[in-house]
Chains A and B, each alone.
Chain A
Amino acid sequence: MTNFFYYGGRHVEREILSALIDGELSPNERRLVHEHLQECADCREAADEFGHIHGMVGDLPRLIAPEAFVSKALRPPKTLSSKMFGGKRKFVAGGLAASALAITVAGFFIPQRAETPPVSVFFERQVSLHSGEESGGQVLFAVNNR
């Protein structure tokens, strides 16, 4: 029961008076305070003030939650969950779309696999001047394309 009185025991600590209003003092504390209040107008006034503040806040009415809010809350849990994870889903979907686009665009810049054969062979053809038929030829040189 520290700091019970202040001003040399002339008044009760205001925090104690606040707790008195809430019924949060021990029986012994309550008895001491009530004895003091019988004699001290200042402390009585302070206790009254706290009591009035307590009453003013306590008198604030219980509000009725808006119907739209209640309806929304009553939707199947899946809806609540989707709201809860909606942002993540959008994020994942967006990420997939971005990835697909990136792959597509990158495809234009990646060098195509060479369709030319690995080796180019250059040869000399022998064609008959009379008949125009090809009668053979010989390899002149080959180039490794890789």
Chain B
Amino acid sequence: MLVRALMSTRLALIDEPTVGGGAVPADHPDWADIVARYADVVYTMAYRLTGDDEEARDLAQDVLIRLHKGLARYRQGNFEGWLYRTTVNAFRDRLRKRKRLREDVLAEHEPPAMRTGRIVEEAVQQQELFEVVQRSLVKLPPEYREAVVLRDLEGRSYEEIAEILEIPPGTVRSRIHRGREALRQLLESYVDTNTDR
């Protein structure tokens, strides 16, 4: 019964702007409200970082547990920054545990599965393109992936990313640039350079 009631709360809130536009939780935010507002955000980011539904669920669960654990110590401030930082830290911890060390993407240079025989972007269905981009994203070294996801997907500024990742803004700029260079090579066939901006 409780879950059902909370779910209806979630449905009511789901159309409201979340990250970037949602109200920052109060000094003592309600757990159900946090889940309602941020479950999709956490899950999406977890999926973009891991590229796998099961891993994304585990990571997102880990993030929520950490948030819940730290909630008692939370004081009104940059909640979303805390949420992103928690997500990145949980992601890094999982990487460390699994001993998935950084791989040299450019040396590996394994083309995405959809690349063969496809030259023109228009020929690729949107969903397929999403999958190709996602697969390429997961091939980035984790530190580039984090920066690109926070910038291009979550729309965070360099300054915010610097705070979340606890690195200088110059390093943020460098990581985003390198991540995009790697993506450019991985997505070479899909990048339309004739577009005038």
Residues of A within 8 A of B (CB): 14-15, 18-19, 22, 24, 45, 47-54, 56-66, 69-77, 80-81, 83-84
CB within 8 Å of A: which B1-59 residues: 2-3, 6-7, 10, 31-32, 35, 39-44, 47-48, 53, 57
Contact: A14 with B39, CB < 8 Å? no
Instruction: Please measure, in the bound complex, the distance between the C-alpha atom of A108 and the C-alpha atom of B90, giving whole angstroms.
Output: 49
B174 and A15 form a contact (CB under 8 A): yes
Tell me, rounded to whole Å, the shortest Cβ–Cβ distance linking A135 to chain B.
Answer: 87
Closest residue of chain A to B176, judged by CB? A18
The main secondary structure of chain A at its interface with chain B is helix
Asked whether any CB of chain A lies closer than 8 Å to the CB of B151, the reply is yes
A49 contacts B193, CB within 8 Å? yes
Count, chain B residues at interface, CB 8 A = 54
The answer on a CB contact under 8 Å between A69 and B148 is no
Tell me which residues across on chain B come within 8 A of A74, comparing CB atoms: 2-3, 6-7, 10, 31-32, 35
| Interface segment, one of B98-106, B108-116, B183-191 | B183-191
Chain A residues in 8 Å Cβ range of B31: 74, 77
Which chain A residues lie closer than 8 Å to B190 at the CB level? 56
Residues of B within 8 A of A53 (CB): 152, 180, 183-184, 187, 191
